[in-house]
Amino acid sequence: MADKILKKADLGKLIESVTGKGGRFVAPTTDSRQIVFKKVKSAEEIATDYILARNSFKEFLFPQTEVVAEFTLGKDTVDMRGVEVHAPQTVIFGARPCEAASLKGMHALFTWDFIDEFYTKREDNTVVVTVGCTKADDACFCTTVNLSPASTEGADVYLREAGESYTVEAITDKGKKFVEAHAAVFGSGSVKADPLVMPEKIANIDLAKVSERLKDKTHYDDKVWPKLTRKCIGCGACTFVCPTCRCFDIVDEGTAFEGERRKNWDSCQYDTFTLHASGHNPREHQHQRWRNRFMCKFNFFPEKFSGKGCVGCGRCVRVCPVRLDITEVMEEFSK
Amino acid sequence: MNNIYLPNLVTIEDIYEEAPDVRSFRLVFKDPKLRDTFEFKTGQFGLYSAFGLGESTFCIASSPTRKGYIQCTFRKSGRVTGGLAQLSIGDTMGFRGPYGNHFPVDEWKGKNIVFVAGGIGLPPVRSVIWNVLDRREDFGHITIVYGAKTVADLVYKEELKHWEARGDVTLVQTVDPGGQTADWKGKVGFVPTVLKEAAPKAENTVAVTCGPPIMIKFVLNALLELGFEEESVYTTLENRMKCGVGKCGRCNVGDIYVCKEGPVYTAAEIKRMYNDF
């Protein structure tokens, strides 16, 4: 039950209340004619009519590029210094329930034995406010992966559209503290939430069957892989927009005298990703790289990290320049 | 903050030219405390930094029975190894590790051991060899089968001489057909074939192998033909890695993360893996 409401007219006050305490407020906004998650300063910047931002909000927890160390090289000296993570208090506002469900797996990966504090310190300082969907498009398939616009997994606060207001439901302790910290902005009252729009479940997909078939290792060299994925051009766009993809590279940048070590987004779809120095490449062909991504989503990532490998947001479907639709491969593996 | 990507600084104490474009570094930690406390197990790996160029992954080629330093051996082949190859004695580089699992050497006490390596696959095996030789009395018969493309490509030439001269090791050296020199006294032939000819007995014996992926594949078959149990054959998978700590996503063989669950596996474990080498 929603116990609080947030008037849309008060969004500006919420932004001020957050930024006034030194925090950053991230929301879907229009940039270069696209709806993207960005830091905003005023309510006017926030998009009102959108299905999903083009980018995932993962970049505010796991930036596309970040410095992890700096070094200075002298004639006979080397100085290597770790850097402190930049982790401002952050509110992600207007995320969709599907993408918030990616966070459990992300957390599990970045804390698996070795704790990546570049991720966890940002995570600690981030409040995720989702808004249940009142619109969907043909690419949305959250219901096919057992999520829905009503899912609250990964959300700290869950909102629903209710005319000129939102209903407000604090899900986690962090969410409760957030609502308390900005109590002046949240009102109470009884408003009727607008209906959620449920994307239709894709009838020919059986997620349990997909998972079961991927467990049977005989599929590995099946001709179905090159057949289904031959048109992939290996651009990696699907991996960059995906809220659960988190593979990265570590590179040095700078001069011969000083520079930085950076952690940069990378993609399992690139042929250099797994290329050995010897020239040997365990995933030499594009269909092998595609298979790896699909296996990661529906086989080993969920099993290893008990998180969702795919949240059905449909970003990869929308962004793919050759219309390689992951749900078609899911259908094939549901047979 | 605890930064898992921050390397420790190490000084290059010595450099050994092993083969064309292959060299070894003897490394000591700059931090004297770490120099005393650093521990690793045979088979573990590290990430080595050439500052300004990046990091490369190699096994630790020295044995944990030799304290106070670590050794790595690498072939100059890319940006980072090219940069490392330009460093001189006294220069500083970076090291993160040790990471990964290890060869369960302590469980092999009382057994015979057969080492089978090809080319630059000897460095990870070398750590096990010295670990075993440094407490020779704990183990039975020791056989080393080692081959490379050419005589020049054989690494650790001085150590090969030493192992050959020792009365308690059977060393079989080979080079690929065409790779021999006029005065070559070893075998001529591919490692799996030479291994079958040498035919070490499988009973109460553990095998350790490393080399190019294609060699490992045929060596595993050869060992099984010789009667070795899949559970008694060990190898180390050297996949490309960036983080070394289970995050960056490139070393996986299907559901297995080589950096965390490997790099050391038995042939039985390899058989259960996806065909993704």
Predicted confidence band at B274 (pLDDT cuts at 50, 70, 90)?
Answer: confident
For residues B126 and B229, membership in a common domain is answered with yes
If one counts the domains in chain B, the total is 2
Rounded to whole angstroms, how far apart are CA atoms B220 and B233?
Answer: 8
| Nearest-CA distance A66 → chain B (Å) | 12
Of A109, A274, A275, the CB nearest to B247: A109
B201 and B109 co-located in one domain: yes
Q: Do B252 and A300 touch (CB under 8 A)?
A: yes
Strand B45-50 versus strand B54-59 pairing type:
antiparallel
Q: Does the pLDDT at position A76 exceed 80?
A: no
Report the length, in residues, of chain A. 335
CA A296 to mean position of chain CA atoms: 15
Say if residue B93 is in the same domain as residue B144.
no
Q: What is the CATH number of the domain that holds B117?
A: 3.40.50.80
Residue A150 pLDDT > 50, yes or no?
yes
- Judged by CB atoms closer than 8 Å, whether chains meet at A114 and B239 is answered as no
pLDDT category, B238, cuts 50, 70, 90?
A: confident
> Tens digits of per-residue pLDDT, B53-81?
999 999 999 999 999 999 999 999 999 99
Distance of alpha carbon A235 from alpha carbon A237, whole angstroms = 6
Same domain, B44 and B94: yes
| pLDDT at residue B270 is higher than 50 | yes
Give the 3-state DSSP-derived string for chain A, with helices as H, strands as E and coil as C.
CCCEEEEHHHHHHHHHHHHHCCCEEEEEEEECCEEEEEECCCHHHECCCCCCCCCCHHHHCCCCEEEEEEEEECCCCEEEEECCCCCCCEEEEEECHHHHCCHHHHHHHHCCCCCCHHHHHHHHCEEEEEECCCCCCCCCCHHHHCCCCCCCCCCCEEEEEECCEEEEEECCHHHHHHHHHCCCCCECCCCCCCCCCCCCCCCCCCHHHHHHHHHCHHHHHCCHHHHHHCCCCCCCHHHHHCCCCCCEEEEEEECCCEEEEEEEECCCCCCCCCCCCCCCCCCCCHHHHHHHHHHHHHHHHHHHHCCCCCCCCCHHHHHCCCCCCHHHHHHHCCC
Contact list in B for residue A221 (CB cut-off 8 A) is 275
The whole-number pLDDT of residue A220 equals 87
pLDDT band at A1 (very low <50, low <70, confident <90, very high): very low
Residue partners of B276: CB distance under 8 A and separation at least 6: A220, A282, A283, A288, A292, B253, B254
From chain A, pick out residues whose CB is under 8 angstroms from the CB of B245. 113-114, 116
A78 falls in which pLDDT band (50, 70, 90)? confident
* Tokens found for residue B155: 């690494």
B82 CB within 8 Å of a chain A CB: no
pLDDT at A323 over 50: yes
Tokens of B79: 């940006």
Report the complex ipTM: 0.93
Domain at B94, CATH number: 2.40.30.10
- Same domain for B127 and B89: no
The domain limits of chain A are 4-332
For residues B172 and B53, state if they share a domain.
no
Q: What's the mean per-residue pLDDT of chain A? A: 95
User: What SS3 state is found at B11?
Assistant: strand
- What is the dihedral sign for C-alpha A291, A292, A297, A298? positive
Query: Which residue shows structure tokens 């594949």?
Result: B217
> B232 with B143, same domain?
yes
- Residue type at position A149: P
Of B98, B125, B144, which residue sits at a domain end?
A: B98
Residue B267 has pLDDT above 60, yes or no: yes
Domain that holds residue B126: 105-236
**Disruptive mutation site among B10, B259, B274 for chain A (greatest number of A CBs within 10 Å):** B274
Distance from CA of B3 to the nearest CA of A (A): 7
- CA of B144 to nearest chain A CA: how many angstroms apart? 24
Q: For residue B252, is it within any domain?
A: no
Mean pLDDT, residues A52-76: 94
In a domain, residue B211? The reply is: yes
* Cβ atoms within 10 Å, residue B255: 18
* Residue among B91, B76, B96, B109 nearest B206 (CA): B109
Q: If pLDDT is split at 50, 70 and 90, which confidence band does A38 have?
A: very high
Distance CA A264, CA A66 (A): 7
In this structure, is residue B244 part of a structural domain? no
Indicate the residue among B69, B98, B127 that finishes a domain: B98
Question: Cβ–Cβ of B52/A71 closer than 8 Å?
Answer: yes
Residue B237's Cβ-side half-sphere holds a number of Cα atoms within 13 Å equal to: 28
- Check if the beta carbon of residue A182 is closer than 8 Å to that of residue A17: yes
B146 domain residue, yes or no: yes
Token digits for B50? 């050439």
Q: Tell me the β-bridge partners of A179.
A: none
Contacting residues for B50 by C-beta, under 8 A, at least 6 apart: B56, B80, B81, B83, B84, B87, B93
- Is B88 part of the contact surface with chain A (CB cutoff 8 Å)? no
Give B4 to chain A, closest Cα distance, Å.
6
Same domain, B212 and B94: no
Residue A75 banded pLDDT, cuts 50, 70, 90: confident
- Residue A53 CA to residue B180 CA, distance in Å, equals 63
Give the B window 182-221 contacts with A, CB below 8 Å. Answer: 212-213
Pick the residue from chain B with its C-alpha nearest to A249: B242
Report how many helices (DSSP H) and strands (DSSP E) chain B contains, helices first. Answer: 8, 15
Q: What is the pLDDT of residues A127-137, one digit of tens each?
A: 999 999 999 99
**A78 contacts in B (CB within 8 Å)?**
9, 51, 92
Token pair of A124, please?
Answer: 């600690």
| B136/B181 Cα distance (integer angstroms) | 33
Do residues B55 and B7 make contact, with C-beta atoms less than 8 angstroms apart? yes
- Is a pLDDT exceeding 60 seen at residue B184? yes
Provide, as residue numbers in chain B, all residues whose Cβ is less than 8 Å from the Cβ of A299.
Answer: 254-255
Contact A26, A40 (CB under 8 A): yes
pLDDT of residue B12: 97
Q: How far is the CA of B86 from the CAs of A114, B48, B80, in angstroms?
A: 32, 14, 10
Nearest chain B Cα to A302, which residue?
A: B255
Find out whether B60 and B45 touch, Cβ atoms under 8 Å.
yes
Instruction: Output the average pLDDT for chain B.
Output: 96
User: Does the beta-carbon distance from B77 to A277 stay under 8 Å?
Assistant: yes
> Residue B259: inside a domain, yes or no?
no
